């Protein structure tokens, strides 16, 4: 089950995925043609999710690929590489992605917060990996480069109106639930 060592190269990430807890894709970037069509990608994601959503095991070999994953509340983060890839390098990418998202969502890593900041997450993924090459492994550098909008500053610096707005939102949601 082991492939021969590939040529040394910078290309080492095959895909980065963020799925929700119904296996729906929120963000999916495939960097090579392991799964060329959207249909094959979705099938792979379903399979991957079914194998990983229960066991909190962090790593799995699937369809000849090494998949490193991490989940929080209703979000699943995956980094996929070839099976001969150094697992720790892939893990460092995943950690960087997770930490960056964690910082940007102010430790509120869940689907709703992610969707509200979709643009920032898109930019972060782009900063972490460029066509399969790892661009940055330091989460704080990534967050810096994504350069956040002013209204995403910490609570103290927000205007009174926006604080009220978000409070209203939260009350509304707690009533609905």
Partner 1 sequence: MMKRDKKEEEEGGANPFYNLEKSSVLQEARTFNETPINTRKCCHILTKILYLINQGEHIGTMEATETFFAMTKLFQSKDLTLRRMVYLCIKEMAYIAEDVIIVTSCLTKDMTGREDQFRAPAIRALCRITDTTMLQSIERYMKQAIVDKVHSVSSAALTSSLHLAKTSPDVVKRWVNEAQEAVNSDNIMVQHHALGLLYHIRKNDKLAVTKLVNKYTRHSLKSPYAYCLLIRIACKLLEEDNAGPMFEFIESCLRHKSEMVIYEAAHAIVNMKNTTAKELAPAVSVLQLFCSSPKPTLRFAAVRTLNKVAMKHPAAVTACNLDLENLITDVNRSIATLAITTLLKTGSESSVDRLMKQISSFMSEISDEFKIVVVQAIRSLCLKFPRKHSIMMTFLSSMLRDEGGFEYKRAIVDTIIGILEENSEAKEAGLAHLCEFIEDCEHTVLATRILHLLGKEGPRTPQPAKYIRFIYNRVILEDAPVRAAAVSALAKFGAHCDELLPSIMVLLQRVQLDMDDEVRDRATFYLNILAQHQKALNSAFILNSLQVSIVGLERALHHYTMEPTETPFDLKSVPLATQPLQELSKPIMEASSGPKSTEKAAASRQDVYAEQLASVPELANLGPLFKSSSLPVELTESETEYMVRCIKHTFPHHLVFQFDCTNTLNDQVLENVTVQMENTDDFEVIRSVPAASLVYEKPGTTYTLVRLPEDPTQVTTTFTCTLKFIVKDCDPNTGEADEEGYEDEYVLEDLEVTVSDHVQKVVKPNFAASWEEVGASNELEDTYALASMKSIDEAVKSIIQFMGLQACERSDKVPDDKSSHTLYLAGVFRGGHDVLVRAKLAFSEGVTMQITVRSTDAYASEVLASAVG
Which stretches of the chain bind partner 1, using CB under 8 A?
A: 1-2, 5, 7-10, 25, 27-29, 38, 41-42, 51, 55-62, 64, 68, 86-92, 111-112, 115-116, 118-120, 122-123, 126, 130-131, 133-137, 141, 145-149, 176
For residue 28, the minimal CB distance to partner 1 (Å) is 6
Nearer CB in complex with partner 1: 47/164: 47
The minimum distance between CB 40 and partner 1, in angstroms, equals 10
Least distance (Å) from partner 1 to the CB of residue 107? 19
Rounded to whole angstroms, the Cα distance separating 55 from 61 reads: 13
Closest CA to 78 of 14, 135, 130: 14
State how far the Cα of 4 lies from the Cα of 83, in Å rounded to an integer.
10
In the complex with partner 1, the residue whose CB is nearer, 2 or 157, is: 2
Rounded to 10 deg, the angle between the 139-146 and 87-104 helix axes is 50
Shortest Cβ distance from residue 78 to partner 1 (Å)?
A: 13
Could you tell me if 41 and 35 are in contact, meaning their C-beta atoms sit under 8 angstroms apart? yes
Give me 24's structure tokens: 């729906």
């Amino acid at each position: 089950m082991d492939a021969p060592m590939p040529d040394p190269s910078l290309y080492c990430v095959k895909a980065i995925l963020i799925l929700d807890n119904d296996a729906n894709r929120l963000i999916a970037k495939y960097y090579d043609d392991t799964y060329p069509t959207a249909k094959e990608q979705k099938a792979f994601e379903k399979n991957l999710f079914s194998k990983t959503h229960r066991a909190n095991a962090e790593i799995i070999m699937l369809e000849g690929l090494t998949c490193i994953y991490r989940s929080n509340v209703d979000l699943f983060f995956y980094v996929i590489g070839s099976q001969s890839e150094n697992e720790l390098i892939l893990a460092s990418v995943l950690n960087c992605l997770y930490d960056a998202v964690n910082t940007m969502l102010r430790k509120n890593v869940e689907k709703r917060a992610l969707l509200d900041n979709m643009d920032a997450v898109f930019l972060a993924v782009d900063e972490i990996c460029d066509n399969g090459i790892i661009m940055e492994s330091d989460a704080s550098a990534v967050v810096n480069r994504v350069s956040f909008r002013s209204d995403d500053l910490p609570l103290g610096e927000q205007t009174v109106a926006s604080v009220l707005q978000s409070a209203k939102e939260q009350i509304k949601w707690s009533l609905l639930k």
